[in-house]
């Protein structure tokens, strides 16, 4: 039996759909390699009923897609008997509908169309065929649970969930499958037999994010550094070309999407749309920059935010995918040298450098943004409080000092918490100089924002705080790495 780690809310949603006394149309989407197929297959193959799965072929022609569909149809409904492929999707779904009539009146029927965007080749008519058969046949059969899935999240959202034609408002449930959080990543590592502590699991998360496919390729007999070196920095390593393959499989004109991500990754504190436009100068296919940014955000590679008190500046973007940032930061710049075999044991040597510790600090900030609920609970902040970064850059020629707040909580109890994020191997020590910096930040924040709210300073420090006279005086509360590994409720 395939074990499903985490995915509690998703399993509840799928179980409700399975037990429902009505036909269900479920749209599932999420980043490539996040485990969509595994979740659906593992969940429903353990249930009683008829399970039919067909999977789109990447860059496969319509005839090849239909041939694969016919083979799966024969396997599921006719004991493996070979069937002649249909010439179009209307005929193919006619065959499927006839096969369904053979199933008992009380038996559940799961129809899983995996990687539907790949099946929707140009002029294939598959969407029109789904519209017709759902509205005419499948949607009226309470036994049927139709699940469509795709790594191209933007395609699923626009063509299925927000369809303006015959499928408008037909989706009964939608599931956005996110990468594992730290809690489920730790459970997954334990499940595959890779024993480590929270700090070691966090280091893996910094490289791979919570992507199950990446994590399951870890070799149990290797240390973290050895795994990273063999997977990323060897020309035959599993993830040496993964970045390019992921983007090629999701986007036409993928080079332009990679260019946007590269520009965003070069701005650690986030970057505005206007700057992205200026630094990319994109032309050709792929749609407007707004559309491309939207597609990248749907796919989970970037996230948008509005800095506190800066609504007039508009939306900013930052990299949210740990794997992408790791690749762009460390692999891409030396890829040609790696191909030529000029560099050996690269990562083992990098982990001793100041640049490595700077990268850790930045990625840990990103991880904290993904674990806001856990941080709020640790800092005793109401869940409804708004969280965002904040930055002030004085105008040229001004005598003002600039300031940056890693994570700010605008609370409903008349207070604002200014959060400092630190990733260190040992407890972070607040000395006199750092205490002066914190006080200056708070002073600048109050002056610039003109807030009348009460100001508190908290720390999100991976290894906690070393007790000093300054920490006791300045810091309201502290969240540590262990807090981030707790399951959000």
**Of 64-73, 97-106, 150-159, 385-394, the least confident:** 385-394
The 10s digit of each residue's pLDDT in 2-40 is 789 999 999 999 999 999 999 999 999 999 999 999 999
Of 1.10.20.10, 2.40.30.10, 3.30.470.10, 3.40.50.300, the CATH number of 8-176 is 3.40.50.300
Q: What is the share, in percent, of the chain residues with pLDDT greater than 70? A: 97
Q: Residue 46: what are its φ and ψ, rounded to 5°? A: -90, -5
Per the prediction, the chain carries an average pLDDT of: 93
When comparing pLDDT for 287 and 340, which is higher? 340
Q: What is the pLDDT of residue 287?
A: 60
Q: Residue 21: what are its φ and ψ, rounded to 5°? A: -90, 15
The 10s digit of each residue's pLDDT in 228-262 is 999 999 999 999 999 999 999 999 889 999 999 99
For the chain, the structural domain boundaries read: 8-176, 180-369, 371-484
DSSP 26-80: EEEE-STTSSHHHHHHHHHTTSSSEEEEEEPPTT--HHHHHHHHHHHHHHHHSTT
Q: What is the pLDDT of residue 343?
A: 82
Q: What is the pLDDT of residue 311?
A: 66
Q: What is the pLDDT of residue 306?
A: 83
DSSP-based three-state secondary structure for 239: coil
The 10s digit of each residue's pLDDT in 59-107 is 999 999 999 999 999 999 999 999 999 999 999 999 999 999 999 999 9
Q: What is the pLDDT of residue 310?
A: 64
CA–CA separation, 247 and 242 (whole Å): 9
The 10s digit of each residue's pLDDT in 206-220 is 999 999 999 999 999
DSSP-based three-state secondary structure for 218: coil
Domain 371-484 top-level CATH class: alpha beta
Q: What is the pLDDT of residue 312?
A: 65
Q: What is the pLDDT of residue 288?
A: 85
Half-sphere exposure of 268 (CA within 13 A, CB side): 12
> Looking at the domain 180-369, which fold is it?
Arc Repressor Mutant, subunit A (1.10.10)
**Would you tell me the crossing angle of helices 36-44 and 8-19 to the nearest 10 degrees?**
50
The 10s digit of each residue's pLDDT in 40-52 is 999 998 899 999 9
């Amino acid at each position: 039996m395939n074990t499903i780690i985490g995915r509690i809310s998703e399993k509840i949603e799928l179980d409700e759909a399975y037990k429902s006394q009505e036909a269900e149309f479920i749209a599932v989407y999420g980043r490539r390699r996040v485990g969509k197929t595994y979740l659906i297959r593992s969940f429903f193959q353990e249930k009683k009923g008829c399970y039919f799965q067909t999977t789109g072929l990447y860059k496969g022609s319509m005839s090849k897609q239909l041939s694969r569909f016919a083979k799966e149809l024969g396997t599921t409904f006719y004991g493996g008997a070979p069937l002649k492929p249909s010439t179009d999707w209307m005929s193919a779904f006619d065959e499927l509908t006839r096969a369904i009539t053979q199933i008992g009146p009380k038996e559940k029927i799961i129809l899983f169309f995996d990687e539907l965007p790949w099946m929707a080749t140009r002029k294939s008519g598959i969407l029109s065929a789904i519209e017709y058969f759902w509205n005419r046949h499948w949607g009226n059969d309470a036994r049927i649970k139709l699940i469509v899935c795709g790594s191209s999240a933007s395609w699923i959202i626009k063509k299925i969930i927000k369809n303006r034609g015959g499928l408008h408002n037909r989706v009964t449930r939608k599931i956005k499958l996110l990468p594992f959080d730290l809690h489920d990543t730790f459970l997954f590592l334990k499940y595959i037999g890779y024993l480590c502590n929270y700090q070691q699991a966090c280091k893996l998360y910094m490289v791979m994010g919570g992507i199950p496919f990446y994590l399951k390729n870890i070799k149990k007999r290797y240390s973290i550094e050895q795994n990273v070196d063999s997977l990323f920095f060897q020309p035959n390593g599993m993830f040496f070309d993964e970045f390019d393959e992921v983007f090629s499989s999701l986007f036409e004109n993928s080079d332009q999407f990679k260019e946007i991500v590269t520009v965003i990754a070069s701005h650690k504190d986030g970057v505005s749309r206007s700057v992205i436009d200026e630094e990319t100068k994109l032309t050709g296919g792929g749609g407007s920059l707004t559309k491309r940014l939207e597609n990248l955000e749907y796919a989970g590679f970037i996230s948008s935010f509005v800095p506190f008190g800066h609504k007039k500046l508009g939306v900013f973007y930052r990299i949210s995918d740990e794997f992408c940032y790791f690749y762009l930061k460390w692999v891409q710049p030396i890829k040609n040298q790696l191909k030529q075999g000029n560099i050996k044991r690269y990562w083992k040597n990098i982990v001793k450098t100041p640049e490595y510790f700077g990268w850790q600090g930045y990625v840990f900030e990103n991880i904290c943004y993904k674990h806001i609920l856990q941080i709020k609970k640790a800092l005793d902040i109401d869940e409804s409080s708004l969280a965002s970064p904040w930055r002030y850059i004085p105008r040229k020629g001004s005598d003002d000092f600039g300031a940056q707040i890693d994570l700010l909580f605008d609370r409903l109890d008349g207070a604002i918490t200014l959060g400092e994020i630190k990733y260190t191997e040992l407890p972070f020590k607040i000395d006199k100089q750092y205490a002066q910096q914190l006080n200056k930040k708070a002073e600048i924040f109050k002056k610039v924002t003109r807030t009348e709210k009460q100001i508190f300073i908290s720390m999100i420090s991976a290894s906690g705080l070393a007790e000093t006279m300054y920490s006791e005086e300045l810091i309201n509360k502290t969240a540590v790495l262990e807090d981030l590994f707790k399951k959000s409720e």
